[in-house]
Chain A
């Protein structure tokens, strides 16, 4: 438990704290690294970071089995454009030179194992990454990754879902050091018609019994109204596919960013 350990955790906590003190849920946009191209990504990330409390950068992966078609296609496009695992970390390094908001990487575990868990953490720390979101790593599968992340000062976020039992919620909540990521629906990522949040309050209440780290809710948030509904329940609101759809359709990202950020006000 060295000093470096707390760096990512502290920065993420401070971001949630700042949002809370301003009467907001933290606004957490997601964007696939290298999308729509490696050249265009940094400016796009700047637009998101203008209003973000925390930025989630998706590491493009060939087999993203927790993602719906939108993020899946963005990953394919980013990979086809040459974005790699190390390249994703490099893109964060570039963003870090001009932003000090927390930036976390969402990645499936295979790229971490392929690069080597220790090497991956070292590179991420050096580039200024604050934490990792691990959608296909239940915390009881592999404690090496969480331990190494801590050693390199990175926060880790695991997921809870509406199907999680109370015991699983406790296990996951206690393993999260940055924030807890609660999935709003049983399903994969993607903006969908009318996100039903009926199962979210009970899930959050259970998680809060076991941890005091902030809890963000994601999957299916797509407009000011859904953001507002989630903000009333959670400490943070994650929005992903809606931004990718906007980029794909050539819509104005700053406008959407402002709309969604405003939606996070309580």
Chain B
């Protein structure tokens, strides 16, 4: 057994990352969260649990995922070397599976036979449905109606895997509303249901637990980079941020290094049509502190506390908040968060596809775009690692639709050019 789960200095014993995080949920759930926290604390150091998780990550998911030098992308950008951490190589197509398998194993350990999940892009739903099928659990996935339309293929995959997909029509019909609905289900069925939460959001212990399960990404990066470049620490790490789980997975193993030894950590937020237009999902750039889904974090809401609808081309980033640990990183300068627009993400997708033969998820394309912008400002000895959180198969139909729409829209020359 070699797998260990990390122990980071944050959060505090109350589940706070500085002032962020916590547990703002109906009282009904507090005992369940206490139980989950205790079960996780035990599982985390149980050799049986760890070796089973390690076996699944290796033999089922296909870990380690590659750390790949994107030579043509590097040449195109000019400047720092760009490496891709290939979470898109994971079985089911994204980083989400790392966390889902671990939580599903925990569910089994806690004697729960029913799991529920929320999903935006469908990747977390597919990963939950997959883990449930593998372990023989009943699975219900909540998904916003708008996202079901955007991610038809993933809806079909979940159903094929035996999960029940419940359309959510309230609010904006996207990830935030699916999360509300999953929490309502959990409040109702808390005694026999395990909630597999898909990102580093929600009430304590989820942000810490999901981070620990995803930090395999950064831990692998360390030894892989050491083998390839003779050093564990790159100069820059870039990852897209919706709730923030793929980003925290690659950031956290580096984030607690002392000042001066830490790489630059950059999260790309979905700027949609531009932060200034109000149609975006950039919670750091465009939000203020608030509480949603059980945690205090940067949040898109109006001056009286009503959550304002986020917008992103990519369903997986279309969330009005950002995980509490990212909020702390942002406040303390450990990481930077930069907005990347829909059109820029499309450009990132186009570039990686044409230059490397890799079709990235629209989410990951946000990170690719920024890497290409940043690389020329650095020297060829410097290294950027981009977390390629997922592959773009799920987005192909939506990209096709957007492309057709762009061609139909007269005067939309700029976008047409990007897509051409």
Contacts and interface: CB of A to CB of B under 8 A. Distances in A.
A141 interface: yes
Nearest to B28: A161
B307 interface: yes
Contact of B289 (A62, A64, A113, A164): A113
Interface SS of chain B: mixed
Given A62-B171, A110-B292, A186 B25 contact: no
A159 B296 CA distance: 20
Interface stretch (A27-35, A79-87, A251-259): A79-87
Contacts of A162: 28
Contacts, number: 125
A68 interface: yes
B210 to A, nearest CB: 19
A165 interface: yes
Given A63-B171, A114-B290, A163-B191, A168 B27 contact: yes
Interface string A111-122: 111110000000
A113 B305 contact: yes
Contacts of A72: 170
B170 A66 contact: no
A159 B27 contact: yes
A73 B296 CA distance: 25
A124 to B, nearest CB: 14
B159 interface: no
Interface in A82-98: 84-86
Contacts of A73: 170
A138 B306 contact: no
A133 B293 CA distance: 18
Contacts of A76: 170-171
A188 interface: yes
Contacts of B304: 84-86, 111, 114-115
A264 B190 CA distance: 30
A110 B291 contact: yes
B81 interface: no
Nearest to A136: B24
A212 B177 CA distance: 39
A23 interface: no
A245 B217 CA distance: 50
